Amino acid sequence: MIQLELSEQHQKLYENVRLLAEHMMRPYSRKYDREEHTYPQEMDEVVKLLEAGRSGGSGDARQEHPADETVNGGNMGAVIGLQGLAWGDLGLFLGMRTNGLGNAAINAVGTAEQREKYGKSYAAMCITEPSTGSDSANISTTAVRDGDEWVLNGEKIYVTGGEFSDTLVVWATLDKSLGKAAIKSFIVEKGTPGCEVTRLEHKMGIRASDTAAISFVDCRIPMENLLGSAEIAADAAGRKKAFGGVMQTFDNTRPPVAAMALGIGRAALDLARELLAEEGVELDYREKPDNVGAIKAELYKMEAEWEGARLLTLKAAWMADNSQPNSVEASMCKAKAGRMGNEVALRCVELCQSLGYSEQHLLEKFARDSKIVDIFEGTQQIQQLIVARGVLGKSSSELK
């Protein structure tokens, strides 16, 4: 039976991470928001504490446990911890040299040897290209086999952690004419000849996180750095299954991104409630919603939206911990939480008026940071399309 109540262990994890976020992240929020592209060295101490407590990371969906045992494990712990870190500062979290989105791919589909070698590196994910955004099947970066090596050529943009990461997980095609069936992912170590960071983006939010453009020009990597099989299925069913294996990466990364949205939404709500309480607006859940003023009604509504997103996120993580297919649920929680985080942050700015818009408080920063969680790891529209296909039993060719 599904269990979404937090265990004592996970509750303690969240409390510890929140304390760390409040006292070791928040004091540097404004500094690194202004000093874009400057590495937040103070966060190295945060990383050490996370590693010591094993509270960071994206979780490994492939946990072994008895078939009849229900567990709340690494994936549940990951979304709970990420929620607390994003409550502190999403940009600073994304700028830390800890597990990146590429680590989720390595943990999800990598071999034991690949996980051993690269599991503790800081791995960024390279998917988006100048002409390819949400349509991952349109990847143009190529990977050609040459003896016992792969040769990569192409350009990736908007790579989160692209500058400070140690490792890259790069999506590339083995044969463009075969479409999504030929798309594979490859592990590339930073510093490999032919791999170069060409540009850092200036952004509206998450400024403490480096977002890079990376080029690959005759970049040679070992044959064993391919994630998954190099085989391209001959039939349509096999090709669909193969691409589904590549896309499984998102089933691991979308719940953590939803957790980031939960963190930002919670941060905005907490600060808005604190500022409004100073003006005499305090919530009392014994009140009937029909008998409260407009501001209170808005706060109650946002709290309900936040709770709905939280439960969807915990469900997707629980399913991963219990080896249940969660593609639809992962997209549901990402869509719900991504929209919620952005809308709640913006609405909190409006409710707090000049205090929300001013740099005197962090509300305006939460609002700017919140937009990215509704975009990366698949936009709102893409998530809704995936959910619709799952609910209606339609293929990507039947429902576009």
3-state SS, one letter per residue, for the chain = CCCCCCCHHHHHHHHHHHHHHHHHHHHHHHHHHHCCCCCCCCHHHHHHHHHHHCCCCCCCCCCCCCCCCCCCCHHHHHHHHHHHHHHHHHHHHHHCCCCCHHHHHHHHHCCHHHHHHHCCCCEEEECCECCECCCHHHCCCEEEEECCEEEEEEEEEEEECCCCCCEEEEEEECCHHHHHHHEEEEEEECCCCCEEEEEECCCCCCCCCCEEEEEEEEEEEEHHHEECCCCCCCCHHHHHHHHHHHHHHHHHHHHHHHHHHHHHHHHHHHHHHHHHHCCCCCCCCCCCHHHCCHHHHHHHHHHHHHHHHHHHHHHHHHHHHCCCCCHHHHHHHHHHHHHHHHHHHHHHHHHCHHHHHCCCCCHHHHHHHHHHHHCCCCCHHHHHHHHHHHHHCCCCCCCC
The question of whether 377 is a catalytic residue gets the answer yes
- 179-to-138, 175, 223 alpha-carbon distances in Å: 7, 7, 22
Residue of 129, 329, 364, 377 with catalytic role: 377
Torsions phi, psi of 37, nearest 5? 75, 10
Torsions phi, psi of 203, nearest 5? -130, 165
| Token output for 388 | 């619709």
Rounded to whole angstroms, the maximal C-alpha distance in the chain is: 74
- Residues taking part in catalysis: 377
